[in-house]
């Protein structure tokens, strides 16, 4: 047997995917990754998803080690298959043994790290965070690396002459998203699947713009060059600590959404989930761990989130979200985030938020793909405008049937949290009347402009849905 029984249970939703399967998961377990990062804190989202995915050996080299003891303890509790060390080169971590190097940090940090890089560390992934913005690129050869290094050095010199304007809340979301995306690129490199991000890719989470660039521009000069933003940014944004967010479901989507919101400083977070922690959750649900298997997920999530921020107020709803309690549960919150894993509850949540006039951040995933949108009742389309009725049984495979790559819900959950924070603090451009489609295999984000459906049964001109009802569960996952 390639994998032990416990490992099969842990990575179940990975290995049923034909692109990975058992041999692929074994290859991930045999692989090694070296991470250079400015701080242990910044590298945490990346480390959680690498460990959850089953990377066997991780070596972290950081300038600021603060908090690494708790981080390493959490990582080992998340996945005992992963061997993680601080600042040491393991004997078996050689380039011919699936070794990848990741450099994560600011432009200046990445530029300085590249100067000291030698050929034996190829292939390499660089991930740059800059406020709400981020950049990622896979470097397999020396030539592109030198081109990027030169562009970075120029950018660093230009920024040294500009006033510092670092948005700490924005950096939370950019480092979180970069962590999940970099994990995906690492898996693709190790397994030789999909299209690696050798063409530069960057994003701006305030404007929700995602860009890849031409092969003739190995260093994304548009990202590195100073630019003027086309979105409004208030001089004094509202405080995230003054608001309450509700995350319905603490699984693959809800875990990263809650993680990012708490790390960004949300004042109160509500968690809805009736399930308990199982080993098959741990390949994607980063709030949970092996030591808390069997506990209610809301209790497990509370334990993790209070370690992340002891000041956050956590309200637990250990219950099945249904038509009888939906309105009461959501009534106390300023924004609702959808982290559910089945269509009936998703439609119920959409209907409840509309009836209660609560903004809702929506996301869904399967396999290597994800979608997301932001819904503001009375101002934008709702979920039913795009998908009017619940899919028939078997029409759309569930995650338990088709599998899901763990960091894919991480990407979409982090985007949900970012949208919620922007909505609450009145910053940037939201995904209202837009559908964000994500393809992890090709690292492609597409924002599709849509319109409110006047014939929608919930929010149209002649609605037929005026009260909640429970829908039949057709695709439990």
- The pLDDT profile of the chain, 477 residues, written as one tens digit per residue, is 589 999 999 999 999 999 999 999 999 999 999 999 999 999 999 999 999 999 999 999 998 999 999 999 999 999 999 999 998 554 444 544 558 999 999 988 998 888 776 555 568 999 999 899 999 999 887 767 777 777 777 777 766 655 555 688 999 999 999 999 999 999 999 999 998 888 889 999 999 999 866 555 555 556 666 555 555 566 667 899 999 999 999 999 999 999 999 999 999 999 999 999 999 999 999 999 999 999 999 999 999 999 999 999 999 999 999 999 999 999 999 999 999 988 899 999 999 999 999 999 999 999 999 999 999 999 999 999 999 988 776 656 666 667 899 999 999 999 999 999 999 999 999 999 999 999 999 999 999 999 999 999 999 999 999 999 877 654 333
Domain boundaries defined on the chain? 31-224, 240-449
Closest among 382, 377, 393 to 343, alpha carbons compared: 393
Angle, alpha carbons 160-127-444 (nearest 5°): 125
Res 112: pLDDT: 85
Task: Give the per-residue pLDDT at 474.
Answer: 41
Cα separation, 103 vs 84, in Å, equals 17
Q: What are the tokens at 295?
A: 């506990």
Same fold, 31-224 and 240-449: yes
Q: Are 391 and 175 in contact (CB under 8 A)?
A: no
The CA distance from 471 to 227, in Å, is 49
Tokens of 58: 């991780």
User: Chain-centre distance of CA 416, in angstroms?
Assistant: 8
Strand order in the sheet with 209-212: 83-86, 57-64, 32-39, 99-105, 124-130, 133-139, 201-204, 209-212
Q: 31-224 sits in which CATH class? A: alpha beta
**Got the DSSP string for 414-452?**
HHHHHHHHHHHHT-S---BTEEEEEETTTTEEEEEE---
pTM of the model: 0.93
- The answer for residues whose C-beta is within 8 angstroms of residue 98's C-beta and 6 or more apart is 27, 30, 31, 32, 190
| pLDDT score for 399 | 63
| Alpha-carbon span 388 to 403, nearest angstrom | 25
DSSP code for 349: H
> Taking a C-beta distance cutoff of 8 angstroms, is the pair 248, 335 a contact?
no
312, containing H or E segment: none
CATH superfamily of 240-449: NAD(P)-binding Rossmann-like Domain (3.40.50.720)
Contact by Cβ (8 Å): 245, 266: yes
Q: Can you name the residues that pair with 468 across neighbouring β-strands?
A: none
Give the pairing of strands 32-39 and 57-64. Answer: parallel
Burial of 188 (0-12, 13-18, 19+ CB in 10 A): buried
Give yes or no for a cis peptide into 207 (omega within 30° of 0). Answer: no
The label of the residue with tokens 């451009």 reads 429
Please state, in angstroms and rounded to a whole number, the distance separating the CA atoms of residues 475 and 346.
Answer: 12
DSSP string, 186-233: HHHHHHT-S----S-EEEETTTTEEEE--TT-SS-HHHHS-----S--
Whole-number pLDDT of residue 113 = 85
d(CA 342, CA 432): 22
């Amino acid at each position: 047997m390639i994998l032990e029984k416990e490992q099969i249970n842990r990575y179940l939703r990975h290995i049923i995917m034909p692109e990975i399967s058992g041999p692929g998961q074994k290859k991930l377990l045999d692989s090694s990754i070296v991470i250079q990062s400015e701080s242990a804190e910044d590298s945490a989202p990346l480390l959680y998803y690498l460990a959850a995915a089953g990377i066997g050996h991780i070596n972290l080299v950081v300038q600021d080690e603060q908090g690494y003891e708790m981080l390493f303890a959490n990582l080992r509790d998340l996945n005992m298959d992963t061997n993680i060390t601080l600042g040491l080169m393991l004997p078996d971590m050689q380039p011919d043994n699936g070794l990848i190097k990741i450099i994560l940090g600011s432009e200046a940090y990445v530029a300085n790290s590249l100067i000291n890089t030698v050929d034996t560390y190829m292939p390499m992934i660089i991930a740059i965070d800059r406020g709400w913005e981020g950049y990622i690129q896979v470097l397999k050869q020396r030539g592109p690396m030198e081109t990027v290094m030169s562009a970075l050095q120029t950018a660093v010199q230009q920024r040294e002459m500009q006033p510092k304007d670092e948005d700490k809340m924005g950096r939370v979301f950019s480092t979180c998203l970069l962590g999940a995306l970099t994990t995906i690129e690492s898996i693709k490199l190790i397994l030789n699947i999909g299209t690696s991000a050798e063409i530069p890719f960057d994003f701006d989470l305030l404007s929700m713009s995602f860009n890849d660039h031409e092969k003739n521009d190995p260093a994304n000069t548009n990202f590195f060059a100073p630019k003027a933003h086309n979105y409004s940014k208030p001089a004094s944004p509202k405080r995230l600590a003054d608001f309450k967010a509700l995350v319905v479901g603490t699984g693959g989507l809800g875990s990263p959404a809650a993680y990012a919101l708490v790390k960004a400083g949300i004042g109160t977070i509500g968690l809805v989930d009736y399930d308990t922690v199982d080993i098959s959750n741990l390949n994607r649900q980063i709030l949970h761990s092996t030591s808390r298997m069997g506990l209610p997920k809301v209790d497990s999530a509370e334990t993790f989130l209070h370690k992340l921020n002891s000041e956050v107020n956590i309200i637990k709803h250990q219950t099945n979200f249904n038509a009888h309690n939906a309105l009461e549960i959501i009534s106390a919150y300023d924004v609702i985030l959808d982290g559910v894993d089945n269509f009936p509850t998703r439609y119920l949540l959409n209907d409840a938020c509309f009836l209660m006039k609560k903004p809702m951040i929506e996301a869904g995933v399967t396999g290597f793909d994800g979608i997301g949108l932001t819904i503001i009742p009375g101002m934008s389309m709702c979920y039913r405008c795009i998908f009017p009725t619940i899919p028939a049984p078997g029409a759309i495979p569930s995650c338990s049937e088709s599998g899901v790559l763990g960091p894919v819900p991480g990407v979409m959950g982090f985007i949900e949290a970012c949208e919620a924070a922007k909505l609450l603090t009145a910053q940037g451009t939201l995904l209202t009347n837009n559908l964000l489609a994500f393809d992890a295999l090709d690292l492609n984000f597409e924002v599709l402009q849509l319109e409110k459906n006047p014939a929608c049964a919930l929010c149209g001109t002649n609605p037929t849905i005026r009260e909640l009802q429970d829908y039949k569960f057709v695709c439990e996952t």
